[in-house]
Amino acid sequence: MRRRRLTIAALSALLVLGGAGTAATLPAADAGPAVAGGPAAAVSRRPASDGVVTAMQRDLGLTRKQAEARIAAERAAAALAPRARRAAGTAYAGSWFDAARGRLTVALTPDASADSRRTLRAYGAQIRTAAHTARQLDAVKARLDRLSAPPGVSGWHVDPVAGAVVVDVVRRDRSDNDVRRFLTQARAAGAVSVRTVSAAPRTFAAGTVGGDPYYTGNVRCSIGFSVYGGFVTAGHCGQPGAGVSGWDGSYVGSFQGSSFPDNDYAWVSVGSGWWTVPVVLGWGTVSDQLVRGSAVAPVGSSVCRSGSTSHWHCGTVLALDETVNYSQGAVHEVTKTSVCAEPGDSGGSFISGDQAQGVTSGGWGNCTSGGETWFQPVNEILNRYGLTLHTYTG
């Protein structure tokens, strides 16, 4: 029933808005140019759907007017971020979206030129002084990535707000000898700050439960985003060659590529009467959302997630390019969020406004008490497999 509702809603939207939905998947060769690191389509100037606005009101405590204003400000910040980095040059120390002021903040080291500062102010960015450049902090994180982390260390990332590499340690394990040894090595690598978190991360796959987006074996996961020829999802959900069935038990396709740990991404081919549409499912809680691109949302931006267990929830981007340490091994270059998730949500969609962000990897907590969740950025998956995101461009 859910899949049928998605298909009808998606095709209706495409037809009403002048699209050309078809009953068969287009081959990659017919899909236009492949994504090469940037957004799959220009950032839309259209307002977000009512579903996204409603979810942001619920999960972020905003009024409708505040939610709409924030979406517009975040869209502007996402477009400005790469220009700001170029203007800052070697003095660049990171950037993030300041929700309170509705603007992008750019950190600069004290040796930043007067021209760089003037240019950034002319762009409308706020400027903050930092001790370490982004390049220096990236180098510190790279040193930590070469270490072997014990289970009590849940992950680490460059935090431009803190001006350091933040290492997260599970509260119950902070006195563990292996954790303390890791932190000693981490601090020796450079600018490191330690934060205590409530629980260790885990992946969000689950055993078979009826009425879900797809199965592989006895594992249930969630579809991420449609690409021409199939969809992207989490790597821990299946190995290359594994068959996939849909909500109704019919054969969908198979895993064509998969990586986990180190990465957590995969793509599944689609055939046998199934087709792809540029839609994120609202699960009846919110309206289904058309996908128009994949512009990266800066730290501090709002982001929403759709998954087959906990459905639709929103939060904010907490960190980019984090290394998260699961029991199965470390996964690199994921994005941390304050959005909750639960088993079965793995592989599901993270979207900011109408821009695809990534596929659900794992996290800690649940959607009753709260928690944090990581996603693998969608642009990395597209580039890795040479895929093209299926977007609506009307």
Q: Do the Cβ atoms of 26 and 226 come closer than 8 Å? A: no
Dist. CA 104–CA 96, nearest whole Å: 6
Residues 302-338: b if buried by 16+ CB within 10 A, e if exposed: bbbbbbbbbbbbbbbbbbbebbbbbeeebbbbbbbbb
- Amino acid type, 279: V
Backbone angles phi, psi at 235, to 5 degrees: -70, -30
CA dihedral angle for residue 58, residue 55, residue 338, residue 257, rounded to 10 degrees: 160
The residues pairing with 302 across neighbouring beta strands, listed in sequence order, are 316
Q: Among 211, 270, 260, which residue's Cα sits nearest to residue 237?
A: 260
Tokens in use for 35? 């994504």
> Which residue in the list 346, 349, 352, 361 is annotated as catalytic?
346
Whether 236 sits among the annotated catalytic residues: the reply is yes
Listed residue (389, 372, 393) closest to 381, CA to CA: 389
Cα dihedral sign, 177-180-182-185: negative
Active site residue 157: no
Task: Give the rounded distance of the alpha carbon of 334 from its chain centre.
Answer: 7
To the query of whether residue 132 is one of the catalytic residues in this protein, the response is no
CA distance 199 to 324: 13
How much is the CA Rg of the chain, to the nearest whole Å?
A: 21
Which parts of 9-91 are beta strand (E)? Answer: none
Q: Which residue among the candidates 98, 159, 264, 345 is catalytic per the annotation?
A: 264
**Annotated catalytic residue, options 132, 157, 236, 311:** 236
Query: Apex CA 316: angle with CA 116 and CA 86, to 5°?
Result: 20
Secondary structure of residue 190 in the 3-state scheme:
coil
Number of other residues whose CB lies within 10 A of the CB of residue 114: 7
The CB density around residue 110, as the number of other CB atoms within 10 Å, is 8
**Could you list the active site residues?**
236, 264, 346
